[in-house]
Each structure stands twice: as structure tokens, then as C-alpha cells.
């Protein structure tokens, strides 16, 4: 616990909140434009004496429940609330789920990519948006239903047809990478319903997944080279995963420099067909 930094952070955030922001009258004899200490204490549900000691850097460690109430009173953003927990010496709490809304900037980035396949997916491997090359390479994955069936990880481990677009020599590695990445996501928000449903379902329905899960390998997916079996032949691409702050990832499948992959991608787009078989999960990593 960093008492001095915590005290300074609380004071500055308190002074930045106007009384009207929390439904209080402005008053006529305020020394600061922000809230008074006693007002923060009252709104938070703690004693004025204890809050005063917090701002004087001489308090005991506040509980996670108290920090949650303080974050609400001081109108902290998610990043500011995380900072508050760290200053107080507590682990940052899990977030309550992942947004299914793709931010406009990500949608714009997808639309601008002409020579690379790209898509946005959640940490449960649900595709939320694709550009045209991604659809040509791997089929239209958006709107594949709800729940387990929408997850490319679920498809990969429960539907043999989902593996037909991946070379047999790469399938074991893809399985290991998917499970290791999913375990990292599970650790971040294992109490969320969608994550529990996916992992519990895979443990029940896929012996392969259960065996890999039991190995406890953890590795967030970032970059690898992947090959896709398509209507125009095998296409090898560099897969770069750019994580965002809300549990979504922007995945870019780019032609390696000096390769023939770009020409094949363009030809595939003209052919207008998806990869051999259903190819629903080869692009998941």
C-alpha cells in the first residue's frame, strides 16, 4: 500500500468533482470547487475521521468494498479505479464481461485494410466483425448464433469440419495455442457466465480440450505464422493479435513480405468463396 500516493490521488479526485455532479448544492462558502472530505465520507458510507486519515496518509489499508464505494463516489473511470486498487495494495478486480460492441475506430480500421484479412473477436473466440478478405478466407463468422455455437474455440474442438481448412501438421499446435490463450482469458474473468459456459462445455464435450486444459499452459496469443487451405491453394499468412482494453482483439492476417500470399488473397477475393470445408476456426489464433 502506497499511503502517500493514495492520499494525493484521493485528494485530487475529490477536488475535481463538483457538488452538482453528485446531487449536492454548490454552497456559498466553499474553499474548493470540489467536494468536502465530509461529503465524500457521507456519500461513501465511511466515517469522516477515517476518510480524513486516508487523505493524510496515515490510515490502515481500506477494504476492497470501501474502494469500490470510493470509486463510485468519485466517479472514477475503469482505469482510475484500477489505479486506486493498486495504490491501496489490492489486486484489480475482474471486469464483469466483455462488450459485444465493436468500437467505431476498430470498424474503420477493418474497412481500410485492403491487402490483409482482419477481424475483431472476443476473448471467448466469438467473431464480432470481419473485413471482406477475412470473409473470403474463413467464411462469414459474424452472427453465427449465440452461446457456445458462436465461439470458434467451441467449433474447433467439437466439430471435425472446422479443422478442414488447417493443414493437419498444424492442428495440434493450433489446439495448444487456443487452450493456452483461453486459460489466460479464463483467469481474468472466470466468474463471468459466458466464460464459464465455454470452458465447462468444452471440458465436458472434448477430451482433447480437457487434456490440454489439465496441463495448465498459459500463453496469450500474439503472433504466429499460419497456413490456410483455400480454393486457390495454400496461403501462408502472418497472424498478429492486437489486444484492446475491453476483452476484444483485433486480429490481422498479413502476407509475409516477398511471398505470393498477397496475390493469392486477391485471387481468393475474386473467386468469392470460403476456404476448403467449413474452415470456421483455423483463423482463431
Tell me, what's the pLDDT at 282?
40
C-beta of residue 280 within 8 angstroms of C-beta of residue 138: yes
Tell me, what's the pLDDT at 175?
96
Stronger pLDDT, 168 or 25, i.e. the higher one: 168
C-beta of residue 239 within 8 angstroms of C-beta of residue 285: yes
pLDDT surpassing 60 at residue 53: yes
Which residues lie closer than 8 Å to 103 by C-beta, 6 or more apart? Answer: 244
- From the list 84, 80, 75, the residue with the least C-alpha distance to 14 is 75
Global pTM value: 0.63
Element containing residue 153 per DSSP (H, E): helix 152-158
For residue 249, which phi and psi values (nearest 5 degrees)? -130, 140
Q: What average pLDDT does range 125-140 have in this prediction? A: 88
Compute the distance between CA of residue 285 and CA of residue 281 in angstroms, rounded to an integer.
Answer: 8
Q: What are the tens digits of pLDDT across the range 217-237? A: 998 878 889 999 998 999 999
Element containing residue 250 per DSSP (H, E): strand 248-254
pLDDT surpassing 70 at residue 270: yes
- From the list 201, 207, 199, the residue with the least C-alpha distance to 183 is 199
- From the list 161, 156, 193, 184, the residue with the least C-alpha distance to 241 is 184
Q: What are the tens digits of pLDDT across the range 160-216? A: 999 999 999 999 999 999 999 999 999 888 888 889 999 999 999 999 999 999 999
Q: What average pLDDT does range 124-146 have in this prediction? A: 82
Compute the distance between CA of residue 3 and CA of residue 144 in angstroms, rounded to an integer.
Answer: 50
Compute the distance between CA of residue 46 and CA of residue 65 in angstroms, rounded to an integer.
Answer: 11
Q: How many CB atoms lie within 10 A of CB 21?
A: 12
Sequential DSSP letters for 217-243? ------EEEEEEEETTEEEEEEEEEEE
- From the list 144, 131, 138, 169, the residue with the least C-alpha distance to 277 is 138
Whole-number mean pLDDT of the chain?
84
pLDDT surpassing 90 at residue 81: no
Compute the distance between CA of residue 280 and CA of residue 283 in angstroms, rounded to an integer.
Answer: 8
For residue 223, which phi and psi values (nearest 5 degrees)? -150, 140
Amino acid at each position: 500500500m502506497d499511503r502517500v500516493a493514495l492520499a494525493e490521488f484521493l485528494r485530487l479526485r475529490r477536488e475535481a468533482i463538483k457538488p452538482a455532479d453528485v446531487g449536492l448544492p454548490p454552497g456559498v462558502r466553499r474553499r474548493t470547487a470540489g467536494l468536502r472530505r465530509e461529503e465524500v465520507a457521507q456519500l461513501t458510507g465511511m466515517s469522516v475521521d477515517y476518510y480524513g486519515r486516508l487523505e493524510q496518509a496515515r490510515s490502515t489499508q481500506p477494504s476492497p468494498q470501501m474502494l469500490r464505494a470510493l470509486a463510485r463516489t468519485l466517479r472514477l473511470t475503469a482505469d482510475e479505479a484500477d489505479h486506486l486498487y493498486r495504490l491501496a495494495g489490492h489486486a484489480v478486480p475482474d471486469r464483469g464481461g466483455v462488450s459485444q460492441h465493436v468500437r467505431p475506430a476498430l470498424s474503420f480500421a477493418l474497412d481500410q485494410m485492403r491487402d490483409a484479412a482482419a477481424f475483431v473477436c472476443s476473448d471467448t473466440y466469438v467473431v464480432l466483425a470481419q473485413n471482406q478478405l477475412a470473409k473470403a478466407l474463413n467464411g462469414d463468422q459474424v452472427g453465427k448464433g449465440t452461446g457456445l455455437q458462436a465461439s470458434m474455440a467451441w467449433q474447433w474442438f467439437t466439430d471435425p469440419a472446422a479443422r478442414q481448412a488447417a493443414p493437419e501438421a498444424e492442428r495440434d499446435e493450433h489446439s495448444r495455442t487456443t487452450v493456452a490463450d483461453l486459460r489466460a482469458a479464463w483467469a481474468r474473468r472466470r466468474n463471468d457466465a459466458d466464460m464459464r459456459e465455454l470452458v465447462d462445455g468444452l471440458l465436458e464435450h472434448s477430451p482433447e480440450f480437457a487434456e490440454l486444459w489439465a496441463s495448465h499452459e498459459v500463453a496469450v496469443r500474439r503472433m504466429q505464422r499460419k497456413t490456410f487451405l483455400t480454393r486457390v491453394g495454400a496461403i501462408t499468412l502472418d497472424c498478429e493479435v492486437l489486444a484492446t482494453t475491453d476483452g476484444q482483439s483485433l486480429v490481422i492476417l498479413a502476407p509475409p513480405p516477398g511471398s505470393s500470399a498477397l496475390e493469392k488473397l486477391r485471387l481468393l477475393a475474386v473467386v468469392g468463396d470460403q476456404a476448403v470445408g467449413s474452415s470456421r476456426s483455423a483463423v482463431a489464433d
